[in-house]
Amino acid sequence: MMSFVASARLLSSQQRTARYAAAARLSFPLTTLPFTPRASIAALSTTCPSLFQSAVATNLNIRSSSSNHDRKKDRKNKSAAFTLVSSASAILTSASIASSSSSADKPKLLSTMPPVATSPIHSKVVIIGSGPAGHTAAVYLARANLNPVMFEGMMANGFAPGGQLTTTTDVENYPGFPEGIMGGEMMDKFREQSVRFGTVIHTETIGKVDLTSQPMKLWREGEEDNAEPTDTANSVIIATGASAKRMNLPGEETYWQAGISACAVCDGAVPIFRNKPLAVVGGGDSAAEEAVYLTKYASHVYVLVRRDKLRASKVMANRLSNHPKVTILYNTAPIETKGDGKLLKSLVLQDTVSKETREIDVNGLFYAIGHVPATSLFKGQLDLDEDGYIKTIPGSTETNLAGVFAAGDVQDKKYRQAVTSAGTGCMAALDSERWLEEHFPEQH
């Protein structure tokens, strides 16, 4: 049987060109969907018509325009359509699309996933997660001939394979891309490089682990009740990431990455925010730091604090309060976002005491209300801090369990950048390689 999971990430640039031509023959005009193979589109149109039509509706909003604002919107629409198709494509199983027959008219697609065996599949090292940290670790381990296996997740933590970056539009602060690059496209390149060096990638989520024994045991999602694990490994690298807390305000989905963000350092310098009034939600150190950072680009920054005082440290609170380009609005919370359908233009605010509402003009809203690390799977086995992040030995990616390493945002509550995640992914691979060489020299 042929699997269609993760199909959007397995195309070369030549295949994408062929897909554009082939997609034009479909009943819906999906020829501008980025990085989506014709096999995925064809299968999706017949097996998941509602998701297919949602992607089409999104795609039909894409149009050519000479303005920067419209090009930004077009990119966002393409990214949304891509996410719909690739996520639905990942959900499609071989049972619903292909049979064991060799019918020539059935779409076929290369997959890096071998069939699931009835007995546990053993690997030297398994990577759980598929963001910059996970793929960087995979590249290093594969080049060291350790044959890494990656579980990139099927909508794990609410994200498509590739993690948080698949939800972003322009990434302008990652070295090597002077013109910027779409988040989803960048993660495609990461994945292609992992596969090139021999990483085996499963588009499945790990639902249960036992990291306390050797070999370590892993159960794929849906198999957690089985006594036998689906997979075993001598070493495990955890790169499951974290997700920013959002408020899910009315209009938020429309203006996400079109005025609303959860990372000032990532997005604060983009043109739509320059010399414009911006708002930051939060009252802690992160909110204070992000607000001060945004003053470099904004005409003014409003800090929206639900309580009557800041939770930030005294130093940061004083810095924020004394900044000439900052206004702190206490007892204030946003309750609605408004715009022109393309970009955010204003916020409706509510006084948390009197419940009175008012509207202010802002072109950007930045959430600084915390992140949630994807570590629930490891509670009771790995040492976590008070916020749920995995504790690592300073200067390394080692955890409290031998052979288990953590990389990326799952262990980094301070920087949370793609480039720092990639760096810790490299560290985790090197730490794992040395650990395996010391404890399993016969396999190295």
Q: Mind telling me the catalytic residues?
A: 263, 266-267
Q: Are 398 and 405 in contact (CB under 8 A)?
A: yes
* Torsion angle, alpha carbons of 69, 75, 78, 80, to 10: -80
Closest-CA residue to 242 (of 112, 131, 79): 131
Question: CA dist 90 to 31, 178, 441, Å?
Answer: 20, 31, 37
Q: Are 328 and 280 in contact (CB under 8 A)?
A: no
Is 216 strand, coil or helix? Answer: strand
Integer Cα distance of 43 and 6 in angstroms: 13
Integer Cα distance of 383 and 410 in angstroms: 12
DSSP 294-317: HTTT-SEEEEE-SSSS--S-HHHH
Integer Cα distance of 197 and 177 in angstroms: 22
Integer Cα distance of 17 and 11 in angstroms: 10
DSSP 326-379: EEEETTEEEEEEEESSSSEEEEEEEETTT--EEEEE-SEEEE-S-EEES-GGGT
